Structure 1
Amino acid sequence: MRISTQQFFDTSAAKYQDNYSSVVKAQDQASSGVRVQTAADDPIAAARLLMLQQQKDMLGQFNGNITSLKNSLTNEESVLSSINEAMQRASQLALRAGGSISDADRKSIASEIGAIEDQVLGLLNSKDSSGNFLFSGSKSQTPPYSRNNDGSYSYQGDETPLSLQVSDTLKVSAGDTGKNILEGAANSGRTQATVIPPTVNDGKVSLSAGLVTSGTDYTRAFADGQPYKLTFSSSTQYTVTDKDGKDITSEIPGNGTFDSTKEGSSSVNLRGVKFDITLNLKDIAPGADSDAAVKDRAFTLDTKPDSFSVSRTPSNTSTAQLTGARVTSQGDYASTFPANSGAVIKFTSATAYEVYAQPYSANSKAIATGDTGGGTTVTAAGITFDVSGTPQVGDQFAVGASTHKTQSALDTLSQLRQALEQPADGNPAATIKLKDVLDSSISNLANSRAQLDNVRGSIGARQNALDIQASENASIGIANTSTMSDLANVDMGEAAINLTLQQTMLQASQLAFVKISQLSLFSKM
C-alpha cells in the first residue's frame, strides 16, 4: 500500500491537533476544577447535571415560598391575636352591662362596644405588604367584610385560601378566609319564646329567648321536636309538649317545677336549650291568687326563622330600596334560594327582575325571574320584599340569608351595641330582651374566640410544617450540591497526572512527525 506525502502530512497534523486539544482540555480542567464543561465531555453526567440544576432551581423557589408563607402566617397570627383581645374586652363589657347599672352607663358601654366593632372590622379587612386583603381568599382585591344598612355584616370573599408549593408533594395555605375564621362560630341565641294568644304579654310572666347550652342535644333532640308548647299551671308548675302534643315534661330537670324567688331555680332546660322564667306579680291585688294570675299562660318554644340582609349596589342608577324581607313560600325558598352563598336581584326594567346565585358575573344564569306588575313588592325565590322607589334597568341588590345556626363576631358586636343603646330602666320587657342579648352575646363571643383559637392552632401547625420542610429542603439541597460536585468536578491529583500525560503525548507526536518527515525513498538507493 502506498502512502502519499499529502496523506502523511494530513494524518500527522490531525493527530497533532487532537493531542493539542487534549492538552488544552486537561489544562482547563486542572485550572477550573470542572470536569464536565460541555455535554460532549460526558453526555450521561451532563444530562444528570441538568436534572440536578433544575431541582436546585426548584428548591430555591420552594425556599422562597416558605419565607413568603412564614411572613404571611406571622402577619395573620398578629391580626388574629388583636381580634381575640378585642373580643375578650367586649366580653368583659357585656358582663359589666349585665350588672345593676343605668341606661346612661349602658350607653357609655355601647360606645366602647362600637369602637371595638369598628376595630374588628378594620382588622378583618387588613391588607398584606402587597396590598391584598388577608382574609378574602382568592378574591384578594375585594374587602372581605362590608356593613349592611341594617347594621349586619356580609362576607364578600370566597372559601378558597391562597396556597404555595413548598415541596414536590406539599402545598401550604398562605392564610385563612374570613368564612373560616368567624363565620363558623355556633350561635347560642338561635331560639325564641313567643306568647300564644289569647294570652296578653303584660309582663307578669316572661320567658327568655333561650340559650343553646348543648349543640349536640339541640341538633339531636330539640330541632326535631319543635315547636314546643310550654303551659303554666301555677306560679310554680308548668308542662311542656312537643310538636305532636306529647307531654315531655318528665325529660326536664325538676319535672316541671320552678321557684322564681331562688337564683338558678327558674330555668327550663329543654333538650340542650335553657329558657329562664321571670315572674312579675307585684301588681297583683293583695290577697289575690298568684297561681290564678299565671295559670294557662302559654308560650311557643322554637328556633328563630331565617332572617335576611339586603344591600344596595352603590352603582345603582335609582334610589330604590328593598326592605322588609320575609319568607312567603317555604317551598320555593327551600328549593330555589341559595342560602349558603346568597343571591343577587337584578332589575331588567322598572318592574321585571332576575335572580342570580352569588357570586354573580356576566356569565351567570338566572335561577328565577319575576315582575312587580307595578306593585310595591318583589317576590324572589320564595322571599317577598317591600320596594321603595322605582328601580331602574341594571339596579342590583345583594340578599344574604341567616339561618341563625352560626353568627360572626361582627354581628354579635353589632347586636350587643344596638341592645345597649336602647333604654331599659323601669321596663321589664326591655330588661328581659336586653338580658337575652347579653347572655347570647357573652356565649357567642366565647364561641367566636374558640373558633379563632382553632384557626390560630392551625397557623401554628402550618408554621411547624414549614420549619420541617425547610430543614428537609436544606438536606436535599446539600445532597444535590454534593452530587453535582461529584459529577462535574475533577480530582485535582488526577487532573495533574492527566495534564502531564497529554503534554507527553503531544511532545511524542511532535518528535514522531519530525523523524518520519525526514525519511526519503532516495536515501535507500
Structure 2
Amino acid sequence: MRISTLQAFNNGVAGIQRNYSNATRTQEQISTGNRILTPADDPVASVRLLQLEQQQNVLSQYNSNLTAAKNSLTQEEVTLNSVNTVLQRVRELAVQAGNGALDPQDRKAIAAELGEREDELLSLMNTRNARGEYLFSGFQGKTQPFVRGADGSYSYQGDEGQRKLQVASSLNVPISDNGKSIFESVTNAGRLDSALATTPIGSTLRVSAPLVQDEVAFAAFPSGGVEVVFNNAPDERTYNVYEYGADTSTATPLATGRMDEDAGKPDKLVFAGVALQLDGTPAGGERAVVLPGKVNVDTATGTITTGPVANKQGILDTIASLRMALEDPSTDNGEVRDAVAVALTNLDHGMVSVDQARGNIGARLNVIETTQTDNEDVALVNKGVQAELRELDYAEALSRLSMQTVVLEAAQQSYVKIAGLSLFNVMR
C-alpha cells in the first residue's frame, strides 16, 4: 500500500494533537482535582453526582427551615415563660385578696396591680415575631389576636390554625400555637350557679357560688343540676341533695349533710367535684338550686330560669372578673370569697394550659435538634459519596501524565523524522 506524503503529514499531526489533548486533559484534572470534567468522562457517575447535589440542596433548605423553626419556637417559649411569671404574681395577688380582714381600699390597691398585670399579659399574648407577625393568631399572622372590648371583656380575633415547616422529607414541625388553644380554652370552674329558691322567714342562710374543683369527679354531676333541701325544724340544719326536678318526697337523696352549730363558721358541701359554701343559720325548709348556667329566681312567682355561662373562660377574662369584683365597693366579703375561689381555680387551669404548651414546644425543639443531627450526618455521607465519584487519584494521574508526556515527545520526534523523508533527498 502506498501512502502519500500528505497522508503521512496528516497522520503525524493527528497523532501529535491526540497525545497533546490527552496530556492537557490530565493536567486539567490535576489542577482542578476532579476526575470528571464533562458528563462524557463518566455518564453514570455524572448522573449520580447530579442526584447527590440535588439532595444536598434539599438538605440545605431543610436546615434553613430548622433554623427558622427553632427561632420561632424559642421566641414562643420565652414569651410563655414570661406569661407564666405574670400568672404566678396574679395568683399571689388573688390569694391576698381573699383575706377577709382587707377593707375596700386594700382591695382597690390589689385591683390596681391586677390591672397592670392584665395589661402586661395582653401585651405578651399579642407578641410579634421578627417578621412582624403575631405569634398566637394562628394563620392570621397580621391580625391582632386579643382585643379588649368596651365592657372590659376580651375576644380572640385569630383562628385555630397552626403554622408548620417541613424539616425533613416526611416531617412537618409546628412552629406556632394559636392563642385560643392556650389562653382561651381554659376550663371554667365557675360554670355553675346557685340560688335560694325558697327562703323561709327568719332564715339567714347564704349559698356561695358553686366551684367545680375536681373535673374527674364532676363527670358524675347530674347534667340537669341538683337542689339542696333543708329539713324542717327542729332538724333544720340537716340537708339532702337531690337531682334537680326530682320528687323530694319519694326520691332517694344523692348525698346528705348537716351544718355546724356554729353560725359564724361556714360549712363546705362537696358533691361530685363541686364545692359549695353554706353560711348563716337555716330556719328549715330552705331549697337551694345548683344549675349549669346563670341562675335567675323570680321572687314573686318562684320561677327559676338559667342563662348561658361558658364552659371555657380565657385567662384575661378571669383576671378582669376578679379585678372588677375587687374594685366594686358594694361587693361584700362573701362575694369576694367566691370571686377569689373561682379566679384561683381558673388561674391554676390557665397555668396548666400554658405549661402544656411549653411542654409541647420543648418536645418540638428536641425533634428539631435530632433532625438537625440527622441532616448533618446525611450531608456528611453525601459529600463522601460525591468525593469518591468526583475526586481524582493524584498518584495515578501524575503517573499517567508522565507517560503521556513521554508519548507526546516520541510522537513529535517521530513526526520530525518522517517529515524529513522525501524522494528528492535521495536524488540529491
Deviation at 1:178, TM superposition (A): 0.8
Q: Distance in 1 between matches of 2:217 and 2:263?
A: 26
Native 8 Å contact 2:208 2:338 kept in 1: yes
1:99-150: per-residue Cα shift (whole Å, max 9, x none)? 1100111011111101110000000001112211111122111111011222
Q: Identify if the C-alpha distance between structure 1 residues 244 and 516 changes in structure 2 by more than 3 Å, giving closer, same or farther.
A: farther
Tell me the equivalent position of 2:154. Answer: 153
**Aligned partners of 1:421, 1:403: CA distance in 2, in Å?**
23
2:397 maps to 495
Q: Does the CA contact (< 8 Å) of 1:424 and 1:434 recur in 2?
A: no
Say if 1:193 and 1:300, in contact at 8 Å, map to a contact too: yes
Task: Give the equivalent residue in structure 1 for 2:364.
Answer: 462
* One-letter amino acid of the counterpart of residue 15, structure 1: G
Shift of the 518–178 alpha-carbon distance from structure 1 to 2, 3 Å rule, reads same
* Residue 8 of structure 1: how far off its partner (Å): 4.3
1:228 maps to what in 2? 226
1:278 has 2:184 as partner: no
Structure 2 distance, partners of 1:7, 1:13, is: 10
Contact 2:193 2:294 in 1 (8 A): no
Code of the residue aligned with 2:277 in structure 1: it is D
2:75 pairs with 1:86 = no
User: What is the aligned counterpart of 1:505 among 404, 407, 410?
Assistant: 407
Contact 1:207 1:275 in 2 (8 A): yes
Partner deviation per Cα, 1:291-331 (whole Å, 9 max, x = no partner): xx52222122111159xxxxxxxxxxxxxxxxxxxxxxx9x
- Unaligned 5+ segments in structure 2 are 296-305
Q: Does 1:482 align with 2:388?
A: no
2:283 is aligned with 1:294: yes
Q: TM-score with structure 2 length normalisation?
A: 0.87
8 Å Cα contact 2:265/2:279 also seen in 1: no
Taking the aligned partners of 2:119 and 2:423, their CA distance within structure 1 comes to 110
Partner amino acid, structure 1, of 2:291: D
Q: Within 5 Å, give how 1:113-512 maps onto structure 2.
A: 113-196=114-197, 199=199, 204-218=204-218, 220-224=219-223, 226-233=224-231, 234-243=235-244, 245=246, 250-252=253-255, 255-259=256-260, 261=262, 266-279=267-280, 281=281, 294-304=283-293, 404-424=310-330, 430-512=332-414
Give the greater-gyration-radius structure (CA): 2
User: How far apart, in 2, do the equivalents of 1:243 and 1:223 lie?
Assistant: 8
**What number of residue pairs does the alignment pair up?**
411
Q: CA RMSD in A?
A: 2.8
**Counterpart Cα distance in 2 of 1:70 and 1:172:** 10
Identity between Structure 1 and Structure 2 (%)? 36
> 1:378-428: CA deviations, max 9, x gaps?
xxxxx9xxxxxxxxxxxxxxxxxx852221211101101111111247xxx
Match of 1:364 in 2: none
**C-alpha spacing 1:201/1:444, structure 2 compared with 1 (3 Å):** farther
Structure 1 residue runs of 5 or longer lacking an equivalent are: 282-292, 307-329, 331-382, 384-401
Q: Residues 305, 521 of structure 1: CA spacing in aligned structure 2 closer, same or farther, 3 A cutoff?
A: farther
Q: Write the distance in 2 (CA, Å) between the matches of 1:15 and 1:278.
A: 116
1:346-391 Cα deviation digits (max 9, x unpaired): xxxxxxxxxxxxxxxxxxxxxxxxxxxxxxxxxxxxx9xxxxxxxx
Stretch deviating more after TM superposition (88-97 or 500-509): 500-509
Going from structure 1 to structure 2, the CA distance change for 1:146 and 1:213 (only over 3 Å counts) comes to same
The DSSP-based 3-state class of the residue aligned with 1:259 is coil
Structure having the larger proportion of residues in helix: 2
Q: Distance in 2 between matches of 1:488 and 1:183?
A: 58
TM-score (norm: length of structure 1): 0.72
Shift of 1:262: 8.1
Matched residue type, 2:228:
L
